[in-house]
Chains A and B, each alone.
Chain A
Amino acid sequence: METNPPSPPESGSIGDFSVLLEPILASALKTATFLTRNSEDAEDLVQEAALQAFRSFDQFEQGTNFKAWFLKVQHNCFLGRLRRDARRPQTVAIEDEETVENLYLYEQTRGIGMHKGGGDPAGKLLDRLDSEQIALALRALPDEFRVVATLYFVEELTYEQIAQVVDRPLNTVRSRLHRSRRLLQKSLWQMARERGIVSGNADE
C-alpha cells in the first residue's frame, strides 16, 4: 500500500516552514552579507526572502533541498534590489582586465621558495591566512563572481545546485566559479604580501 505523500502545508501555518528555515538562517544571513557587502542590507534581504519564501512555500517540493530553494528565493530578492538600485550585476570588468592564470598561488608560493623541503605548501600558506582575509577576498569579487563563489565556499553547494539557485546554465556557473577562484587566489596573495604574511624576492 502506498503511503500518502505529505500534505502540502496550510497557507498561513508557519510550523513546517520555520522548522526548515531555522537551521539555515545563520548561513543564509552570512551569504546575504557577502551578496550585499553590508550587514544591515543583509538582514533586510534575508527578511524579505523569508517573507517571500513563506508566501510561496506551497511551491516548495517537499523532500527536495530547502536550503537551495530558499537561497534561490533570496537570490531573486537580491537581483530585485539591484534592479531597484538601477544597478546591473557587475560582470565583465575584471574579467577583461585581469586574466589570472591557473594555479596562481601554486606558482607564487613556488616562486618564493615555499615548496622547498617538501611538506604541504598550500597548508603553510593557509596557516598564515585567517577567515577574515578569505572574507575580504570574497567580498571584493564583482557581483556575478561573488554570488557563485559565496554559494560555493560559504554554502558548500555543488555546481548543479548553484546553477539552480542563480538560474543559469551549468557551464556558465562552472566558468564563473573557476574564474572567481583565480581572482580569489590573486587577491589572497596580494593581501598576504601586503601584510607581510609571506615574504620573498620572486614576485610577478
Chain B
Amino acid sequence: MRWGNTMLRIKAFGLDIYGCQEALERLDDYVDHELSPEETQKVRQHLKLCHHCARKFSFEEELIAGMKSKAQRIQLPADVDAFKAKINALLKQEAAPESDQSAASTN
C-alpha cells in the first residue's frame, strides 16, 4: 500500500510515527484515554496525517460517547425514592437490633 510505504519512509527518516495498523490497534484505548501520553501523542500525529484513520477514530469516539450518554438516560422501572426509603429502614433495623430483634450480635 502506498500509504504504508510512505509511513515506512517517514520512519526511515527517523520520525517515530505510527502506521495505520499501529494506530488502529490502539483505537479502543485511545477513545477511553487509557493510552500513555507518548502513545496518545503518536496516535494524534498519525491522525493528523491520515484522514482515513481520522474518520474511523472520530466515528468511534462519537459512537462511544453517544452510547454512554444514552446509557445514562436509561430509565429504571423501580420507584427509586421508595427503594431508598426501604434501604434506609433496613439499615436502621440493622443498626439498632435491640428495637426489633434480640441484641445478640453487636459486632
Complex CA gap A24/B62 in Å reads: 27
The residue in chain A whose Cβ has the minimal distance to the Cβ of B80 is: A26
Complex CA gap A185/B90 in Å reads: 40
Query: Which residues of B from 73 to 107 have beta carbons under 8 Å from A?
Result: 73-78, 80, 83-84, 86-88, 90-92, 94-96, 106-107
- Please determine whether A123 and B62 come into contact, CB atoms closer than 8 angstroms: yes
Q: How many A-B residue pairs have CB under 8 A?
A: 123
- Please determine whether B67 and A184 come into contact, CB atoms closer than 8 angstroms: yes
Complex CA gap A174/B31 in Å reads: 13
Chain B: interface residue total (CB-CB under 8 A) = 41
Residues from chain B with a CB closer than 8 A to the CB of A33 are 76-77
Complex CA gap A156/B83 in Å reads: 23
Interface size class of A (residues with CB under 8 A): 35 or more
Any chain A CB within 8 A of the CB of B66?
yes
The residue in chain A whose Cβ has the minimal distance to the Cβ of B25 is: A102
Q: Mark A117-150, 1 if CB is under 8 A from B, else 0.
A: 0001111011001111011001000000000000
Query: Are A39 and B78 also in contact (CB < 8 A) when A46-B87, A47-B87, A134-B67 are?
Result: yes
Query: Are A30 and B76 also in contact (CB < 8 A) when A103-B27, A138-B71 are?
Result: yes
- Please determine whether B62 and A122 come into contact, CB atoms closer than 8 angstroms: yes
- Please determine whether B63 and A105 come into contact, CB atoms closer than 8 angstroms: yes
Any chain A CB within 8 A of the CB of B48?
no
A162 to chain B, nearest CB (A): 11
A124 to chain B, nearest CB (A): 10
Complex CA gap A19/B87 in Å reads: 13
- Please determine whether A103 and B60 come into contact, CB atoms closer than 8 angstroms: yes
Complex CA gap A106/B57 in Å reads: 10
Residues from chain A with a CB closer than 8 A to the CB of B107 are 11-12, 55
The residue in chain A whose Cβ has the minimal distance to the Cβ of B78 is: A39
A31 to chain B, nearest CB (A): 11
- Please determine whether B71 and A131 come into contact, CB atoms closer than 8 angstroms: yes
Any chain A CB within 8 A of the CB of B49?
no
The residue in chain B whose Cβ has the minimal distance to the Cβ of A170 is: B34
A residues bordering B, Cβ < 8 Å? 11-14, 17-18, 21-22, 25-26, 29-30, 33, 39, 42-43, 46-47, 50-51, 54-55, 102-103, 105-106, 109, 115, 120-123, 125-126, 129-132, 134-135, 138, 153-154, 156, 158-159, 174, 177-178, 181, 184-185
The 6 closest A-B pairs by CB, nearest first: A122-B62, A126-B66, A153-B71, A122-B63, A131-B73, A131-B70
